[in-house]
Amino acid sequence: MRREYAGFYHRIVGRLSRVPGPTVELGSGIGKFKAFKPDAVMTDVEPTRWAEAVVDAEALPYEDGTIANLVLLDVFHHVPDPARFLDEAARVLRLGGRVVIVDPYCSPLSTPVYRRFHHERTDLAALAFERDAQTGATALDSNQARATLVFYRHRDQYLRRWPSLPIVADERFSFLVYPLSGGFTRPALLPAFLYRPLSVLERALRPAAQLLAFRCLVVLERR
């Protein structure tokens, strides 16, 4: 899991905008992003020992056009009202600023695995852009299908509603290593010595990402 999440952070850093301004991580958890982006601002929806500020993704406390990057790792699917967040992102980002999201992806392989073995809800029948009554009662409520719905299944609708925040990059990945890691709560099924060869195999499987992926990266840029 440490290796996998280090890979997620490297992906994020490689996609950040270089325009002037702060990089803000929303839902920064235990603050690991600092090891990869030392000047990033750590925030969370509740006070924690690692957060530098308490920030609600649906009511960002920043002036218009002042932020270079918003980073969300395993956070987008916890946002109750994605439309409000996207409106806020478009407001606070500088021209050329970016939202960089890494979140679960619901493929034909990952969806039944998430539903069977993961404690978080995975509902592909939910409305993509509407406030979700089942998400937001507590900070850990979620719908793991949210990014798949908003940025993949309903991409045309997204692009019509947020033309100033187009999708400039997306990637689906994590086919083998991530599910075999056991996540944060289950025993690892992957011996450490197999990590590198399976990572090589994953690169060979990229053409089948739509069918196999457990994760996605989406980059939005303020235009």
Per-residue pLDDT in tens (0 to 9) along the chain, 223 residues: 888 899 999 999 999 999 999 999 999 999 999 999 999 999 999 999 999 999 999 999 999 999 999 999 999 999 999 999 999 999 999 999 999 999 999 999 999 999 998 889 999 999 999 999 877 666 678 999 999 999 999 999 999 999 999 999 999 999 998 888 877 666 777 788 888 898 999 999 999 999 999 999 999 999 9
**The pLDDT of residue 178:** 86
Q: Which amino acid is at 173?
A: F
The per-residue DSSP string of 94-158 comes to EEEEEEEEEEE---TTHHHHHHHH-SS---TTS-SSS--TTSSSSTT---TTHHHIIIIITHHHH
**The pLDDT of residue 134:** 78
Instruction: Record the tokens describing residue 161, joined without a space.
Output: 């509603």
Q: Rounded to whole angstroms, what are the CA distances from 46 to 42, 57, 171?
A: 12, 12, 30
**The pLDDT of residue 187:** 74
Nearest-CA neighbor of 146 among 117, 161, 125? 125
- Contact residues for 87 (Cβ-Cβ < 8 A; gap 6+): none
Helix (H) or strand (E) holding 76: none
Q: Which amino acid is at 99?
A: V
Distance CA 110, CA 106 (A): 6
**The pLDDT of residue 181:** 81
SS3 at position 171: strand
Distance CA 131, CA 20 (A): 32
